[in-house]
Amino acid sequence: MTAGPIPTSRGRFRDYVAIARLDHMTKHVFILPGIILAYVLVHPAVQTGPLTILFGLLSAVAIASANYVINEWLDREFDAFHPLKCARTAVHRSLSAPIIYTEYMLLVIVGLSLAMGLGTVFAWTAVGFVLSGIIYNVMPVRTKDRVYLDVLSESVNNPIRLMLGWAMIAPYTIPPASLLLTYWMGGAFLMAAKRLAEYRDISAGGGADLLPRYRRSFGRYTAENLAVSCLLYAILSAFFLAVFLIKYRQEYIFALPLIAILFASYFWLAMLPGSVAARPERLFRSRRLMLASLVVVASLTALTFIDMPFLNALSAPSFLRVNL
């Protein structure tokens, strides 16, 4: 396993478009639960128009693309040591720094301009989305180089996306903390599983010595501590999810076993050679994972409309009295 190619050809317009990674828009699916839950839990008096949702999605796409642009540019020397990322545009094309930073700023301006028209909560959340990309990628902080913090700082984009979806529907409220923490820890599980898949694949290909050169945090990661961190994040996500369900919609608790199966399916994928878990934008290719996801979505949808009043009594403290 060797480093990627030295850039020789000058970048073209389509190369600057490519580093915005518009093909990663599937990740914005995490916005949809925010939209749905805001409708279910808040029951907003004023109905949101389709243009609001459209502008909200465009804002999220623009800011995410800005983060991808700066990510690929600043990581180009490190990605050269990755067996797949060495094919990225910034690695094998000679791109212009002034054009890169101009593209980044234009995307940020577009994203924040759209956000400002969607309310205070949405606008500040969009600002947080921009800052998360800077904190994750840019020195001197660059959390992606710090063990465990890399996962936690990258996965914070999950609750940010939830907030964006929520703010489109209920712009004067904030989602429950338990829901945000569920999303954060669930995202951390996904990112840790992604790193586990990368670690196993690259090590199996004889490139273990190049892992820290690709990403410094891998210098302190092992297959064991990555697997343990996946378990920790999954348990924390399930705990916060249970808190949210009991407090806001107890009927959803019947979906917990299905959600557990979904987590297990993803972890199983991460343990496979050449796992798609290492490239989340391609997860739709896993039929088993897609089936598990559809079952979870279907169950949550059904439980949204099915009321079970008896659960209130079951959740109240009670003790069996024994007469001796």
pLDDT tens digits in sequence order for the chain, 324 residues long: 444 555 557 778 888 898 998 888 877 888 998 998 898 888 876 777 889 999 999 999 999 999 999 999 999 888 888 877 888 888 888 889 999 999 999 999 999 999 999 999 999 999 999 999 999 999 999 999 999 999 999 999 999 999 999 999 998 899 999 999 999 999 999 999 999 998 998 888 777 788 888 888 988 999 999 999 999 999 999 999 999 988 888 888 898 999 999 999 899 988 888 877 777 666 777 788 888 888 988 998 898 888 888 887 777 777 777 876
Whether 292 and 214 map to the same domain: the answer is yes
pLDDT at residue 151, rounded to an integer:
96
Q: How far apart are CA 194 and CA 190, in angstroms?
A: 6
Whether 234 and 268 map to the same domain: the answer is yes
Whether 160 and 216 map to the same domain: the answer is no
Residue 92 located in a structural domain = yes
Task: Tell me if residue 67 falls in helix, strand or coil.
Answer: helix
pLDDT at residue 92, rounded to an integer:
83
pLDDT at residue 1, rounded to an integer:
43
Residue 323 located in a structural domain = no
Q: Which residues pair with 272 in a beta bridge?
A: none
pLDDT at residue 159, rounded to an integer:
96
Number of domains in the chain: 2
Q: With beta carbons less than 8 A apart as the criterion, state whether 79 and 4 touch.
A: yes
CATH number of the domain to which 97 belongs:
1.10.357.140
Q: How far apart are CA 288 and CA 290, in angstroms?
A: 6
pLDDT at residue 2, rounded to an integer:
46
Strand-pair category, 93-94 with 9-10: parallel
Q: How far apart are CA 19 and CA 67, in angstroms?
A: 10
End-to-end CA distance of the chain: 74
Q: Indicate the helix (H) or strand (E) that contains 111.
A: helix 97-116
Residue 279 located in a structural domain = yes
Residue 319 located in a structural domain = no
pLDDT at residue 231, rounded to an integer:
95
Half-sphere exposure of residue 150: CA atoms within 13 angstroms, side-chain side: 21
Residue 87 located in a structural domain = yes
Query: CA torsion angle for 185, 186, 191, 195 (degrees, to 10)?
Result: 90
Q: What DSSP letter does each residue of 129-184 carry, written as one string?
A: HHHHHHHHHSTTT-GGGSTTHHHHHHHTHHHHHHHHHHHHH-TT----HHHHHHHH
Q: How far apart are CA 86 and CA 72, in angstroms?
A: 11
Whether 25 and 152 map to the same domain: the answer is yes
Q: With beta carbons less than 8 A apart as the criterion, state whether 311 and 250 touch.
A: yes
Whether 18 and 153 map to the same domain: the answer is yes
Q: How far apart are CA 68 and CA 282, in angstroms?
A: 17
**Host domain of residue 94:** 1-172
pLDDT at residue 281, rounded to an integer:
64
Residue 320 located in a structural domain = no
Phi and psi of 94, rounded to 5°? -90, 100
Query: CA torsion angle for 126, 130, 135, 139 (degrees, to 10)?
Result: -170
Whether 33 and 118 map to the same domain: the answer is yes
pLDDT at residue 324, rounded to an integer:
67
